[in-house]
Amino acid sequence: MKAVEVRELVKDYGSLRAINGISFEVNEGEIFGLIGPNGAGKTTALRVVATLLQITSGSVTVFGYELPKEAGEVRKIISYLPEEAGAYKNLRGNEYLNFIAKFFGEGEKSQDIVQRGLEISNLGERINDKVDTYSKGMTRRLLVGRALMVNPRLAILDEPTSGLDVVNAQEVRRIINSSVEAGVAVLLSSHNMLEVELLCHRIALIDDGKIVASGTAAELKNEYDARNIEEAFVKAIK
């Protein structure tokens, strides 16, 4: 079964068309990357799949559940990490994980989820400190831990390493990779072409609400006779 199937998706904001008929699929155990410039429609596409936005036309299914009709079922199997998101500042790191875990299970199950979150975020003793004392990197690790601890079938990650230093970005990429090894499908967006090339099994290049090219990094480089994805992207949008 496909993790995500998007067919001819159109999303309008009033008179402005943010997504103009895009189609793509994400397979189970695959990292699929949407890359493109600011305002290309990456976040909108992710928000639609994450059940946050309505669909103007087209269809979106997640593990066979149709959106928006079965949004409730979809929410049980996805995890969404918005770009530059924060956590509740007055909660401690472990309290935040506990708060989220309770939506996915009670008692022992909830404790198991929290335990996974503690391991993924790997914040040591600092997990007992309030979130507003965390650095940007620590907050992001906490949030990645939060997103992946619930064992989602699909993780939707918007710019997962945005604003992080090299060490923290590498740590977040390692966490994402290990989740995929455990069977999670990942749909992510990024500006960072190098990161996408390193991380994603398949990539879609998106510009002005349309997918201009898609395939594996090697296929795209080959198609556009480019040395890297960045170059392929520039050639694709010309």
Partner 1 sequence: MLGNIIKKEFKELFTISTLLPIVVVALVFGFVGQMVGNVGERIEDKPVIGIADMDGGDFSDIAMSVLIEKAEVIYDGSDAEEGLKEVREENGVALLVIPENFSQNIYANHPGEIEIYWIMRGAGMLDSISSGVAEGLIQSVNQEISKKLIQQDNLLDPALILASTTRSETTFFKGKEVVGLSPSQLSNMLISQSVVMPVVVMMLIIMAGVAVISSMGLEKENKTLETLLTLPVRRSHIVIGKVVGSALVGMLMAAVYMIGFLYYMRSFQISDINLADFGLTLGVQDYLLVGISLFAALLAGLSLCIVLGTFAKNYRSAQALIFPITALAMISSFTIMFKDFDTIPAVLKVLLFAIPFSHPMMAVRALMLDNYLLVIGGIAYAVVFTAIMIAVAVRIFNSDRLLTGSVRKRAARGKLVWGFRR
Closer to partner 1 by Cβ: residue 29 or 82: 82
First to last CA, the chain: 35
Whose Cβ is closer to partner 1: residue 93's or residue 209's? Answer: 209
* CA 218 and chain centroid, separation: 22
3-state secondary structure 18-79: EEEEEEEEEECCCEEEEECCCCCCHHHHHHHHCCCCCCCEEEEEECCEEECCCHHHHHHHEE
- In whole angstroms, give the CA distance from residue 75 to residue 59: 17
Tokens at 86, concatenated: 């924060």
Tell me how far, at minimum, the Cβ of 128 lies from partner 1, in Å: 20
Closest distance to partner 1 from the beta carbon of 107 (Å): 17
Site of interaction with partner 1 (CB under 8 A): 13-16, 18, 38-44, 47, 50-54, 72, 75-76, 78-89, 100, 103-104, 146, 156, 209
Tell me the closest approach of the beta carbon of residue 219 to partner 1, in angstroms: 26
Find the shortest distance in angstroms from Cβ 28 to partner 1. 20
- Which one, 104 or 177, has the nearer CB to partner 1? 104
Please check whether residue 131 is in contact with residue 87, taking contact to mean a CB–CB distance below 8 angstroms.
yes
Q: Please identify, using beta-carbon distances, which residue of 42 and 141 lies nearer to partner 1.
A: 42
